[in-house]
Amino acid sequence: MPVHFTLIESKETDTTESFFSENFLRARIDDDKPSNKEYDPILEEGRSESWIQSHEKEIKQNDLEYEEDVNQYITLMLAEMVNPKTAGLTNQYLVGTDSDAGQIAVDLKLESQKYQVFRTNADFLLFHLGLFSSESNILGDKYFDKGGWYYSSAACSLKHARGGRSGLSDVLEKLSLKFGKYVEILRYMKNQSSNYFSFHFKFSEEEIAQFQKQLAKEPKN
């Protein structure tokens, strides 16, 4: 469920999903990385069955250029991270940036477990490199290959576990192919405002004072 919160400055109520969606999509536009830039929405329209069968690779490549599902995935993952019910949870499969999640996955028998290992660490790298690392602006493309490989491995394991391609495996494959692009969008989103993600990082002294003043006006239960 989306978490409702009140913006300190405007006093307007919003949901975390709406907040992240708006900021992520705005960053895409401002950073000249709009959604679906290379996607052809009418590629298959009016085509014969024989044409579709003979152009499977072209159709799949076009499908991979559709990014609305990726936008939703990233938005929902960010909203989940700041949910008080899940923010404190840790995952047994999470490894550090300089470690290899594949060393854990190789000892697991179930494809569903391998999928969880790779997806957990891929998501961690995506948001760590894009938002949370104090060195996010100077890391460049470090760990991009690893993040892309994690998502690719997660997609492969998920397809094996479910017996074929799915909407989620497609999203993971898209994140794999353009991992660096999405990290850069997150970095741009973070840098758009010095106060961005303030409910995750520390408030400034002025904001704390304003917050305390507002609390003092509220009736005590």
pLDDT tens across 76-92, in order? Answer: 998 887 765 655 555 77
- The alpha carbon of 191 is separated from its chain's Cα centroid by a whole number of angstroms, namely 17
Q: How many CA atoms lie within 13 A of 160 on its CB side?
A: 14
Write down the mean pLDDT value for the chain: 83
What per-residue confidence (pLDDT) applies to 18? 87
Name the CA dihedral angle for 70, 71, 76, 79, rounded to a multiple of 10 degrees: 140
pTM beyond cutoff 0.85? no
Contact between 151 and 123 (Cβ < 8 Å): no
pLDDT of residue 217: 43
More confident residue, 170 or 7: 170
Count of CB atoms situated within 10 Å of the CB of 77: 13
Across 173-195, b (16+ Cβ under 10 Å) vs e yields: bbbbbbbbbbbbbbbbbbeeeee
Query: In this predicted model, what pLDDT tens digit does every residue of 189-208 receive, in sequence order?
Result: 988 865 555 444 444 456 44
Compute and round to an integer the Cα radius of gyration of the chain: 20
Q: Distance of CA 118 to CAs 121, 216, 221, Å?
A: 5, 46, 46
* Distance separating alpha carbons of residues 163 and 154, to the nearest angstrom: 14
How high is the pLDDT of residue 110? 94
The tokens describing 17, both together, are 């999903």
Of 43-47, 125-129, 147-151, 197-201, the range with the lowest mean pLDDT is: 197-201
* Domains contained in the chain, number: 1
pLDDT tens string 107-119: 999 999 999 999 9
Instruction: Indicate if the pLDDT at residue 72 is higher than 90.
Output: yes
Domain containing 163 equals 4-217
Higher pLDDT, 159 or 84: 159
The mean pLDDT of 130-138, rounded to a whole number, is: 85
Q: Quote the pLDDT of residue 121.
A: 93
Q: What was the pLDDT predicted at 202?
A: 41
Q: Which of 72, 11, 66 is nearest to 37 (CA)?
A: 66
**pLDDT of 218 above 50:** no
**Confidence band for 50, pLDDT divided at 50, 70 and 90:** very high
- 78, 75, 66, 94: which is closest to 171 by C-alpha? 66
Query: Which residue blocks in the chain are alpha helix, DSSP H?
Result: 16-30, 49-54, 56-64, 68-81, 102-105, 111-127, 144-162, 167-177, 179-191, 205-217
Which residues, in sequence order, are CB contacts of 140 under 8 Å at separation 6+?
none
C-alpha closest to that of 147 among 120, 167, 112? 120
For the stretch 27-33, contacts whose Cβ atoms lie closer than 8 Å and that sit 24 or more positions apart, written own/partner, are 27/185, 27/186, 27/188, 27/189, 27/192, 28/71, 28/185, 30/188, 30/192, 31/184, 31/185, 31/188, 33/181, 33/184, 33/185
